[in-house]
Amino acid sequence: MQLRDMTADDLPLAHALSHAAAWPHRLEDWKFLFRLGRGIVAEADHVVIGTAMGRPFGDDAAAIGMVIVSPAHQGKGIGRRLMSAIAERLGAKTMVLNSTRDGAPLYSRFHFNEERTIHQHQGAAFSVPVIALRANERIRPMGQADRAALIALDQEATGLPRAALVSELLKKGKWVVLDRDDRLTGFATFRRFGRGYVIGPVVAPDLNGAKALISHWLGSNTGMFTRLDIPAESGLCDWLSNLGIVHVDQVTGMNAGPAPVRGTSVRTFSLVSQALG
């Protein structure tokens, strides 16, 4: 078994590995992640048996995801070697990831600490209520002039400099923004992912604003299979379940090194994805 840098030619094999693990990612989702960062593969007899991917956020922070080892090769320390290799290549002081229950013991060995729980909701919405906005609020399509404000809001909500990630998402998804007193205070993205579509990231100043942004996309895409990965403390769990977007799984948000310092005026109500946060 050897470790080496992931190449574009590895992506179909990596996709087959995630498909065998019952992960929903399409080959297109793997290509998107590969464009954003770097990856490591574990290879045995010219077969990819493990993967790990990382995405730098500036010089000092990074996200780790897509850590997969073939079931036939688990228990041999391959996951530990993949984590060591991707962490070394990233060289970040702060690293974040979202861990399945099975993966948590591995990440704990690398000094990742549990920070929060992320609930995965999915389903098809058939009846979406209209969320009343304040008199000084409106939801509108994103404009080109909003880019800098979107990037700034995302960094305030996550505590991470994710300008490159947001720029890539602007090319892939549909965006709406929340204005309050003619100032951009929130946003929500709708894009293809996995078995259907995902709403995320969603950033808003409060729960009502987040519901209004999410309702916009659910209401205009009724019946489409949709997923959201939301922090447990978001206040959205029961509301989404009542709409038919039910809680099906959860992961644990973890970080190593100094924790990201998030702002107080906005919050993240739905993630980009479990691999990217």
Say whether both 251 and 134 belong to one domain.
yes
Same domain, 76 and 140: no
Structure tokens at 239: 């509301």
The domain boundary, picked from 49, 72, 92, lies at: 92
| CATH number of the domain bearing residue 7 | 3.40.630.30
Query: Which domain covers residue 259, as residue numbers?
Result: 121-270
Residue 216 pLDDT > 90? yes
pLDDT digits (tens, 9 = 90+) for 69-101: 999 999 999 999 999 999 999 999 999 999 998
Q: What is the Cα–Cα distance from 40 to 58, expressed in whole angstroms?
A: 20
pLDDT of residue 92: 92
Residue 142 backbone phi and psi in degrees, to 5 = -70, 140
pTM over 0.75? The answer is yes
**What is the C-alpha to C-alpha distance for residues 228 and 234, in angstroms, rounded to an integer?**
12
Amino acid, res. 92: A
Q: Which of 50-59, 126-135, 209-218, 267-276 is the least confident region?
A: 126-135
Report pLDDT for 95.
Answer: 96
Q: Is 144 found in the same domain as 67?
A: no
**What's the pLDDT score for residue 111?**
94
Cα(199)–Cα(202) distance, integer angstroms: 7
Confidence check: pLDDT of 122 > 90: yes
Instruction: Answer yes or no: do 129 and 82 share one domain.
Output: no
pLDDT digits 0-9 by tens, 32-68: 999 999 999 999 988 999 999 999 999 999 999 999 9
Asked if residue 226 lies in contact with residue 122, where contact means CB atoms within 8 angstroms, the answer is yes
Instruction: With residue 158 as reference, give the H or E element that holds it.
Output: helix 147-158
Say what the pLDDT of residue 83 is: 96
Question: Contact, 226 vs 124, CB < 8 A?
Answer: yes
